[in-house]
């Protein structure tokens, strides 16, 4: 079993190295794209291997059939995964401690049980705080408190505990239980301006914040946001030009004529909505930055919070429509699926904007064959088929129907990949210095044919 643990750790370290590597600045765009793609492919491979490993060594583990040697090996494995500064994998460490807790309960090993109460609490504590307006909130606060309280309850029997280490764990549980705030656990180096300041309500400065923030923190999300903005704008423009009546009622525009008149304002809003739709991810970077394995259920639940977190950021900055887009972009058009759930319905005057961004989001997420390491990409044709199948339920039919027009379909298909390649090159060629502004195409955005 130990060699599998070693393999898992080795894989995590490899993924970390791959994530840190950046293409050389002087590289040709073709080479750069090939390198980014190769890097993502290798990460994907490692991730699949780790998922298989975890299934075998952990997820199918039954505490009832475990022996002491196996438990000791797991303790060692968890200790390697969890370090207070720079843990390799806190989520899996916590999972192991829960397993050990069940094992200790079942074998009646109270020393191990008390140790594991502390470890289960402390790993959860370090896992994944979420930051909103400078405040750190741990979504698992209740569970953490429960672990420490149970550990601290052994204080009553303190004198009967013979094992020195176990006594120390009881005291540590008491200490943690009495701490009111869990602020200190947020690693200092991750706390930059993004966590420390509220966004400004001044529009230009805010855009810089948004773009720079996403770019600095997570280049793949930055590329994705740029793509969703661009695709969304194309969809909105097409809709405004070919069926303006469908946009009537949006942003206070009463009829088709008003839509045509205010077309640019609508397109601009969808463009900005695309840029900001995943803004909340800047608050859950601990999770979206995990690439060495599939997310655990509770981790995925935290990623889903990006909708609510993005809403709160944008609403706080005074961007009502953008806030609605961030909040609702994962909800199905018929409101029968997606998240957040439950949730108030989107106000009618931005419903169509949300539905356009939702389709743009799916188009980019599903067809990115360059930097997405966690799924194999589809062709635009395959994706369009899926959109049609989901029209009327997951996707708004009016938006999907835009692709019934062969010319528009062909235009999107032709431009999608070169556009994405350009953005990847630009972002990965300069990731880190954060001065890449948005590129709102406006009326004359017809320039992207070349890949470089
Ligand atoms: Fe999203
Ligand atoms: Fe997205």
Does some domain include residue 450?
no
At residue 283, the pLDDT reads 75
Give tens-digit pLDDT for 16-28: 899 888 778 778 8
pLDDT at 434 over 60: no
Mean pLDDT lowest among 90-94, 238-242, 373-377: 373-377
Domain end residue (candidates: 190, 225, 248): 190
Query: From the centroid of its chain, how far is CA 220?
Result: 10
Assigned domain for 449 exists: no
Please, how many CA atoms are within 13 Å of residue 1, restricted to the half-sphere of its CB? 17
Q: Which ligand is nearest to the CA of 339?
A: 1
Cα 268 to ligand 2 centre (Å): 18
Both structure tokens of 414: 């032709």
Q: What rounded mean pLDDT belongs to the chain?
A: 84
Cα of 331 vs centre of ligand 1, distance in Å, is 10
Tell me how far the alpha carbon of residue 329 lies from the centroid of ligand 1, in angstroms. Answer: 7
The dihedral sign for the CA sequence 129, 130, 136, 140: negative
How much distance in Å is there from the Cα of 100 to the middle of ligand 1? 35
241 and 388 in a single domain? The answer is: yes
CA 219 – ligand 2 centroid, Å: 13
Does the pLDDT at position 309 exceed 60?
A: yes
For 260-287, what is the mean pLDDT? 88
Spacing, Cα 53 to ligand 1 middle (Å):
29
Q: What is the pLDDT of residues 141-194, one digit of tens each?
A: 788 889 999 999 999 999 999 999 999 999 999 988 877 544 333 333 433 333
Rounded distance from Cα 152 to ligand 2 centre (Å)? 43
Give the ligand with the smallest distance to the CA of 366.
2
Instruction: Provide the pLDDT confidence category of residue 244 given band limits of 50, 70 and 90.
Output: very high
CA 365 to ligand 2 centroid distance, Å: 7
- Chain-centroid distance of CA 95 in Å reads 20
Same domain for 255 and 167? no
- DSSP state string for 266-309: HHHHHHHHHHHTTGGGGG-HHHHT--SSPPPHHHHHHHHTHHHH
How many residues are given for the chain? Answer: 452
Out of 190, 213, 244, pick the residue that ends a domain.
190
User: In whole angstroms, what is the distance from residue 214 CA to residue 432 CA?
Assistant: 11
Q: Give the model's pLDDT for residue 319.
A: 84
Ligand nearest to the CA of 328: 1
Local confidence band at 229 (pLDDT 50, 70, 90 cut-offs): very high
Q: What's the alpha-carbon Rg for the chain, to the nearest Å?
A: 25
Give the burial class of 152: count Cβ atoms within 10 A of its Cβ; 0-12 exposed, 13-18 middle, 19 or more buried. buried
Q: Tokens 């999608």: give the residue.
A: 416
Residue predicted with more confidence, 203 or 1: 1
Q: Say yes or no: 268 and 388 in one domain.
A: yes
State which residues form the domain around 79.
2-190
- For residue 362, give the ligand nearest its CA: 2
Classify residue 64: in a domain, yes or no: yes
Please state the rounded mean pLDDT for residues 364-373. 86
> What pLDDT was estimated at residue 194?
37
C-alpha–C-alpha distance, residues 96 and 114, integer Å: 15
Q: Are residues 177 and 245 in the same domain?
A: no
Same domain, residue pair 432 and 285: yes
**Integer angstrom CA distances of residue 368 from 142, 281, 333:** 38, 19, 23
pLDDT at 418: 93
What DSSP character marks residue 333? T
Which ligand sits nearest to residue 308's alpha carbon? 1
Which CA distances in Å does 387 have to 296, 346, 360, 425? Answer: 28, 21, 11, 28
Do 399 and 285 sit in the same domain of this protein?
A: yes
- In this structure, is residue 18 part of a structural domain? yes
Which residue among 166, 190, 214 closes a domain?
190
Residue 452 in domain: no
Residues 171 and 307 in one domain: no
Residues with CB under 5 A from ligand 2 (ion): 278, 361
**Same domain, residue pair 233 and 167:** no
Nearest listed ligand to the Cα of residue 223: 2
Between the CA of 156 and the centroid of ligand 1 the distance, in Å, is 48
Residues 179, 204 within the same domain = no
Does residue 348 fall inside a structural domain?
yes
pLDDT: is 429 or 10 the higher one? 10
- Same domain as 68, residue 174: yes
Rounded distance between C-alpha atoms, residue 138 and residue 284, angstroms: 11
Domain co-membership, 202 together with 338: yes
Tell how far the Cα of 388 is from the centroid of ligand 2, in angstroms: 20
Q: Is residue 451 part of a domain?
A: no
Q: Is the peptide bond before 342 cis (omega within 30 degrees of 0)?
A: yes
**Residue 212 belongs to a domain with what CATH number?**
1.10.3210.10
pLDDT at 435 over 60: no
Number of domains forming the structure of the chain: 2
- Per DSSP, the residues of 207-236 read HHHHHHHHHHH-HHHHHHHHHHHHHHHHHH
**How many CB atoms sit inside 10 A of residue 165's CB?**
11
Q: What is the pTM of this model?
A: 0.85
Shared-domain flag, residues 97 and 56 = yes
**Distance from the CA of 361 to the center of ligand 2, in angstroms?**
5
């Amino acid at each position: 079993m130990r060699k599998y643990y070693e393999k898992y750790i080795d894989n995590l370290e490899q993924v970390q190295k791959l994530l840190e590597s950046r293409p050389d600045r002087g590289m040709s765009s073709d080479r750069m794209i090939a390198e980014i793609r190769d890097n993502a492919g290798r990460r994907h491979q490692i991730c699949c291997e780790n998922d298989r490993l975890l299934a075998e060594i952990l997820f199918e583990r039954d505490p009832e059939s475990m022996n002491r040697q196996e438990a000791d090996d797991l303790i060692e494995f968890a200790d390697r995964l969890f370090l207070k500064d720079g843990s390799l994998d806190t989520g899996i460490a916590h999972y192991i401690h829960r397993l050990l807790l069940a094992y200790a309960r079942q074998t009646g090993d109270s020393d191990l049980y008390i140790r594991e109460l502390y470890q289960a609490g402390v790993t959860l504590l370090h896992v994944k705080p979420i930051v909103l307006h400078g405040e750190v909130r741990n979504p698992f606060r209740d569970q953490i408190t429960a672990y420490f309280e149970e550990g601290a309850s052994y204080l009553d029997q303190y004198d009967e505990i013979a094992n020195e280490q176990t006594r120390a764990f009881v005291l540590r549980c008491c200490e943690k239980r009495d701490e009111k705030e869990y602020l200190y656990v947020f690693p200092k180096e991750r706390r930059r301006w993004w966590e420390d300041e509220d966004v400004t309500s001044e529009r230009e400065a805010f855009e810089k914040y948004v773009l720079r923030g996403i770019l600095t923190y997570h280049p793949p999300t930055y590329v994705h946001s740029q793509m969703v903005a661009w695709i969304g704008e194309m969809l909105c423009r097409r809709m405004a030009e070919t069926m303006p009546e469908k946009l009537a009622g949006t942003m206070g525009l009463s009829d088709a004529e008003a839509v045509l008149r205010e077309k640019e304002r609508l397109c601009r809003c969808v463009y900005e909505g695309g840029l900001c739709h995943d803004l909340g991810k800047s608050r859950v970077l601990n999770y979206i930055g995990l690439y060495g394995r599939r997310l655990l259920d509770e981790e995925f639940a935290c990623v889903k919070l990006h909708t609510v977190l993005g809403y709160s950021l944008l609403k706080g900055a005074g961007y009502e429509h953008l806030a609605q887009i961030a909040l609702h972009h994962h909800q199905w058009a018929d409101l029968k699926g997606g998240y957040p759930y439950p949730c108030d319905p989107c106000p009618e005057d931005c419903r169509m904007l949300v539905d356009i961004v939702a389709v743009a989001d799916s188009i980019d997420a599903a067809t990115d064959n360059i930097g997405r390491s966690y799924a194999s990409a589809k062709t635009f044709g395959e994706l369009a088929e899926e959109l049609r199948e989901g029209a009327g339920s997951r996707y708004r039919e009016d938006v999907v129907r835009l692709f019934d027009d062969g010319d528009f379909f062909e235009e999107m298909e032709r431009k999608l990949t070169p556009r994405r390649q350009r953005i990847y090159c630009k972002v990965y060629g300069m990731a880190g210095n954060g001065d890449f502004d948005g590129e709102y195409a406006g009326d004359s955005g017809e320039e992207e044919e070349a890949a470089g």
